[in-house]
Amino acid sequence: MDMTQIRKEDSESMPVHNAEALTGNDRQALITLGDQVYRLRITRAGKLILTK
């Protein structure tokens, strides 16, 4: 992960998570917010998609 693009002041004020670590080999993860469930997916092109 290229951390040079994350500004120091940003990383000190909010958590930084590696999407590949979150999604594992399936390149997908479920994320909850309240009672809602969202799917985070890494595409073949390396883009992130978050869907409900």
Residue 40 within a domain: yes
Q: Per the domain annotation, does 32 fall within a domain?
A: yes
Question: Nearest to residue 39, comparing CAs of 27, 48, 25, 52?
Answer: 52
**Can you give the pLDDT at residue 9?**
65
52 occurs within a structural domain: yes
Asked if residue 7 is part of any domain, the answer here is no
As for how many domains the chain has, the answer is 1
Confidence of residue 28 (pLDDT cuts 50, 70, 90): very high
pTM of the prediction? 0.74
DSSP 11-52: HHHS----HHHHHGGGTEEEEEETTEEEEEEE-TTS-EEEE-
Residue 8 lies in a domain: no
Q: What is the CATH number of the domain that holds 48?
A: 2.10.70.10
Range of the domain at 29: 18-52
Q: Are the C-beta atoms of residues 19 and 48 closer than 8 Å to each other?
A: yes
User: What's at 34, amino acid-wise?
Assistant: G
Give the model confidence (pLDDT) of 29-52 as tens digits.
999 999 999 999 999 999 999 999
